[in-house]
Amino acid sequence: MMLGSLGQNLIYLVDTSFIGRVSEYDLGGSAIGGIFYFLLFMVGYALNTGMQVMVARRKGEGNDAAIGEVVDHQLYLILSLGVIAYITLRYLSPVILPLIIHSDIVRDKALCFLHYRSYGIVFGLVNSMFMSFFIGIGITKVTTWTTGVMVAVNIFFLSVLVFGKLGFPRMEIAGAGLASSLAEMSVTVVMIFYLFRKKFKHEYRLFEFLKVRVSLIIQMLKLSGPLVFQQLISVGSWWIFFLAIEHLGERPLAVSNLIRSMYTMYGVPVWALASTTNSMTSNLIGQGKSNDVIPLIKKIAVLSFSFAIIFAMVILFIPTAVLSIFTNDKDLIADSISTLPTILLAISLFSVAILVMFAVSGTGATRISFYVEVTCIVAYLTYIYFTAIKFECPLPIIWLAEAVYWIIALTLCALYIKYGNWRLKKV
């Protein structure tokens, strides 16, 4: 699952390592464009998380035959969203971005990136749906194949398209967008092949596309709806964060993209553990073992926090070597080091808070997750307004917004898990 959780994170990390060797303007453009893409992707991810809860619950109940119908109806929703997302990225970005980006060169770089990155959005959403299905039923071996293919395809095309090798034109940031889209397409092929080769289609009655049940779609949207809005305001606030920094100049934006890379690198194992928490929480409740949920969260939290400690030690001892993965600009690396302690604090809180948040959604209490998200975002944006816009504080101070967010999220979600009525939730 850690391999599978790479997904968009892996694409972002590899893209950054190549784009960071072109220019800091390209690095800034990929930050703004990448988060805009991620905003639309996470809407689908939230829908797929809701489906994952239902699949895991049916699996826990021993009702495998009902899983295929859930997945089929999810495919209708995801393909519809994919078309909307493609139109937004391909045709509406040139209208939206000029209204909010101060630097002309960063805006042009972001638009160039999104032009080619838009081709992969439908495939990325479908891949996320298939992965949610596999996680829901507890089969995660497929991640080995999908990740291997994604890495190979993405790195190959980044190598030849960004810098113009093997007869390909030098496309720079545009090449990064196209390479990522081709990687997404290749993973979809592997996913479909695996589904049919291993006979999951027959075992879970997938792709039978029986009569559309509006009541099931409504039930799925009711479960996923709060998660969708949660992701919109969460990633949307992340985008606002980078837009606020962009108004401080190209260098702070480039530094923040490198810091974001640290965040993303650490997030690989933690997002996998969070997804595990979500699925296992729903599965345990389906088996009637609600009392095992809190001990489960505690055990996974110890493992997750251990990752945070190891990662922090690596960053503190060899910060230059780690940052050099993403850029060869020595001045940019030097300017980034002062912000690392701040992000390590945020990472430590994130390692536990995200597990508890996913446990809450795993119980089916997605509305509670949404309320928690709204509370966190209000505090987050308020902090950003005063530190980044009103007082233009140094980056280490601005990045403390992440710690503020995770402290509030951990506190509220932990209180709900301890005192809430989630044991009575039906999905």
With a cut of 60, say whether residue 232 has pLDDT above it: yes
What is the residue whose two structure tokens read 């939290």? 301
According to DSSP, residue 62 is labeled T
pLDDT at 114 over 60: yes
Query: Is residue 1's pLDDT more than 70?
Result: no
Tally helices (H) and strands (E) across the chain. Answer: 18, 0
Distances (CA, A) of 329 to 17, 312, 318, 334: 11, 23, 16, 9
Q: State residue 380's pLDDT score.
A: 96
Asked whether residue 6 carries a pLDDT value surpassing 60, the answer given is: no
For 164-168, 206-210, 406-410, which range has the lowest pLDDT when averaged over its residues? 206-210
Of 37, 176, 42, 178, which Cα lies nearest the Cα of 96?
37
**Residue 108 pLDDT > 90:** yes
**Backbone region of residue 62 per phi and psi (left: phi > 0; alpha: psi in -120 to 50; beta: other values):** left
Structure-token match 């809701």, residue found: 50
Q: If DSSP codes are grouped into helix, strand and coil, which group holds residue 138? A: coil
**pLDDT tier, 144 (very low <50, low <70, confident <90, very high otherwise):** confident
**pLDDT of 5 over the 60 cut:** no
Q: pLDDT of 210-230, one tens digit each?
A: 889 999 999 999 999 988 988
Establish how many alpha carbons lie within 13 A of residue 157's alpha carbon, considering only the half-sphere containing its beta carbon: 22
The Cβ of residue 210 has, within 10 Å, a number of other Cβ atoms equal to 10
* Cα distances (Å, whole numbers) of residue 396 to 245, 265, 340: 12, 19, 8
**Nearest of 379, 339, 373 to residue 356 by alpha carbon:** 373
Tokens of 10: 């892996």
Q: Average pLDDT, stretch 105-128?
A: 96
pLDDT score of 8 = 62
Which pLDDT score is estimated for 2?
A: 58
Burial tier of 320 (Cβ tally within 10 Å: 0-12, 13-18, 19+): exposed
168-204: burial string, b at 16+ Cβ within 10 Å, e else? eeebbbbbbbbbbbbbbbbbbebbeebbeeeebeeeb
pLDDT exceeds cutoff 70 at 3:
no
Span 42-87, pLDDT tens digits: 999 999 989 998 999 999 888 888 999 999 999 999 999 999 999 9
Q: What is the phi/psi pair of residue 392, to 5°?
A: 45, 55
Q: At 141, is the pLDDT very low, low, confident or very high (cuts 50, 70, 90)?
A: confident
pTM of the model: 0.83
Task: Tell me which residue of 237, 258, 229 sits closest to 404, measured CA to CA.
Answer: 237
pLDDT at 276: 84
DSSP string, 282-296: HHHHHTT-GGGHHHH
> In whole angstroms, what is the distance from residue 7 CA to residue 191 CA?
13
What angle is formed at CA 304 by the lines to CA 300 and CA 397, rounded to 5 degrees? Answer: 140
Contact 131, 195 (CB under 8 A): no
Closest CA to 20 of 325, 326, 253: 326
d(CA 404, CA 398): 11
